[in-house]
Amino acid sequence: MSATPKLVVRSDDARQRRWLAVGIAVAWLATLALAWWLGGRNAAPDLDAIRERADGSTRTASQLGTSMETAQKRIAVLERSDQVSRLANESLQKTLREREGDLAKMRDDLAFYQRLVGGETGRGLEIQQLALRPIGSSNAFGFRVLLTRNAQAGETSRGAVTVRVSGAGSGKLMELEWDRLQQETAATPLVYNFKYFQQLESSLILPAGFAPDRVLVRARASDGSTVEESFAWQAALEAGGDPNVWQ
């Protein structure tokens, strides 16, 4: 007769099973976290150092950007300062040129009055100045001659003035006499009659294609004496460019 098997009855604790499952899950997650950390350390052992260097590079780039912005501001200030300096220098140069022109005019005026009062540079009749200016777009030019005389001479000076122009025309050197410049035969010269100074004004006409170079002014006194003075054409034009000459 076979033996009857024994049955063992055990109680089923559901609460205990839940805590066991939770413990297993926590242990599994901890294992995963440890594996991830160990994998990161093994895959990039210098990751922290790299991060530090990256942070340092970011800070350096930021500092360089700030320095560049500061440098750009300084460059802008220097450029404005340089522009102001250039404008000031140009203004100063213009003022100096104007003062030099005023000084030259004062010297001319001084020389003029020295001649009038009998200074060492003035003796007798002198042809002080020749001024030329073009008349429109033609070949005609107006001119003005300034004659001066030593005031110590006392007596009145009388005579006549003519001009002659030298230059190039028709492929050769030429001299145009007073008659040709006036386009008249036996043209009347300019008459002067003064004690201290006198300005004579007239005009002349150049032939087409003629290139003037110099102007010779001749003053013949009533006593037969002659005074001549040669002026460069361009210098006479520059003198005529001063509006004060024609006042």
Which one has a higher pLDDT value, 15 or 200? Answer: 200
Domain boundary among 116, 146, 166: 116
Gap between the Cα atoms of 123 and 241, Å rounded: 29
Q: What is the per-residue pLDDT across 199-235, written as a single tens digit (0 to 9) for each?
A: 999 999 999 999 999 999 999 999 899 999 999 999 9
The total number of structural domains in the chain stands at 2
**Same domain for 222 and 161:** yes
Residue 25 inside a domain? The answer is: no
Name which of 182-186, 188-192, 226-230 the model is least confident about: 182-186
Q: Let me know if residue 21 belongs to a domain.
A: no
Region label for 8, one of left (φ > 0), alpha (ψ between -120 and 50) or beta (otherwise) = beta
Residue-level pLDDT at 206? 96
Name residues whose C-beta falls within 8 Å of residue 161's C-beta, 6 or more positions apart in sequence. 145, 147, 189, 190, 191, 192, 200, 217, 218, 219, 220
138 and 75 in a common domain: no
Please indicate, yes or no, whether residues 189 and 127 belong to a single structural domain of this protein. Answer: yes
Same-domain status, 65 and 133: no
**Residue 233: which residues within 8 A CB-CB, separation 6 or more?**
132, 165, 167, 212, 213, 214, 215
Pick the more confident residue, 195 or 102: 195
d(CA 105, CA 3) in angstroms, rounded, equals 154
The residue segments making up the domain with residue 163 are 123-246
Q: Is residue 161 within 8 Å of 192, Cβ to Cβ? A: yes
Partners of 142 in the β-ladder: 133, 203
* Residue 40 falls inside a structural domain: no
Q: Is there a single domain that holds both residue 92 and residue 170?
A: no
Name the least confident of 56-60, 184-188, 237-241.
Answer: 56-60
* Residue 30 domain flag: no
Four-CA torsion 122, 246, 228, 193, nearest 10 degrees: -70
Identify whether the C-beta of residue 118 lies closer than 8 Å to the C-beta of residue 227.
no
Q: Is residue 212 in a domain?
A: yes
Q: pTM of the prediction?
A: 0.53
Statement to judge: residues 95 and 191 lie in one domain: no
Mean pLDDT over all residues of the chain? 81
* CATH number for 191: 2.60.40.150
